[in-house]
A and B are shown apart, each in its own frame.
Chain A
Amino acid sequence: MTGIVVFTLAADRPANASIEPAPDYPPELSRLPPGRHGLPREFVVHNQRERLIAGLAEAVAENGYASTTIAHITRHAAVSRRTFYEHFDSKDACFVAAYDTVMDELRERVGGAFEAEKEWPRAIKAGIAAMLAFLAAEPNLARLCMVEALVAGPVVVERYDAAIQSLVPYFEAGRKGRSREVLARLSPTTEEALVGGMVSLISRRIFAGRTTELESLLPDLVEFALTPYLGSAEAAKVAREK
Chain B
Amino acid sequence: MRPPPGRQQLSREFIARHQRTRIVSALAEETMAKGYQGVTVADIVRRAGIARNTFYENFSSKEACFLAAQDYAADEAFRRVVEAAAEIESWQGRVVAGLTAFLAAVAEEPELARICFVEAHSAGDAAKQRYEESLQTFFPLFKVGRKVSPHGEQLPETLEETIVGGIYWIIAKRIVEGKTEELESLQGELVEFILTPYVGVKAAKRAAS
A190-212 interface code vs B (CB 8 A; 1 in, 0 out): 10111111111100100110000
Residue A151 is within 8 A (CB to CB) of chain B in the complex: yes
Cross-chain contact B169 with A199 (CB below 8 angstroms) = yes
Task: Determine the residue in chain A with the shortest Cβ distance to B136.
Answer: A204
Cross-chain contact B162 with A200 (CB below 8 angstroms) = yes
Overall SS of chain A's interface? helix
Residue B115 is within 8 A (CB to CB) of chain A in the complex: no
Beyond A150-B121, A161-B173, A187-B189, whether A196 also contacts B197 by CB under 8 A is no
A165-189 interface code vs B (CB 8 A; 1 in, 0 out): 0000000000000000000110111
Q: Report A-chain residues with C-beta under 8 Å of the C-beta of B176.
A: 161
Cross-chain contact B193 with A189 (CB below 8 angstroms) = yes
**Number of A-B pairs whose CB atoms are under 8 Å?**
99
Task: Determine the residue in chain B with the shortest Cβ distance to A224.
Answer: B162
> Which of under 10, 10 to 19, 20 to 34, or 35 or more describes the interface residues of A?
35 or more
In whole Å, how far is B32's beta carbon from the nearest beta carbon of chain A? 13
Cross-chain contact A204 with B165 (CB below 8 angstroms) = yes
Cross-chain contact A227 with B197 (CB below 8 angstroms) = yes
Residue A164 is within 8 A (CB to CB) of chain B in the complex: yes
Residue A236 is within 8 A (CB to CB) of chain B in the complex: yes
Task: Determine the residue in chain A with the shortest Cβ distance to B169.
Answer: A196
Cross-chain contact A200 with B169 (CB below 8 angstroms) = yes
A203-226 interface code vs B (CB 8 A; 1 in, 0 out): 010011000000001011101100
Residue B190 is within 8 A (CB to CB) of chain A in the complex: yes
C-alpha gap A109/B151 in the complex (Å): 35
C-alpha gap A164/B196 in the complex (Å): 23
Residue B90 is within 8 A (CB to CB) of chain A in the complex: no
Residue A121 is within 8 A (CB to CB) of chain B in the complex: no
B13-39 contacts to A, CB under 8 A, are: 35, 37
Q: Report B-chain residues with C-beta under 8 Å of the C-beta of A223.
A: 156
Please name 15 pairs of A and B residues whose Cβ atoms are closer than 8 Å in the assembled complex, sorted by A: A184-B201, A185-B192, A189-B186, A190-B193, A193-B166, A194-B166, A196-B173, A197-B166, A197-B169, A200-B168, A201-B158, A204-B132, A217-B158, A224-B156, A224-B162
> What is B's interface to A at a CB cutoff of 8 Å?
35, 37, 121-122, 124, 128, 132, 135, 151, 154, 156-159, 161-170, 173, 176, 186, 188-190, 192-193, 196-197, 201
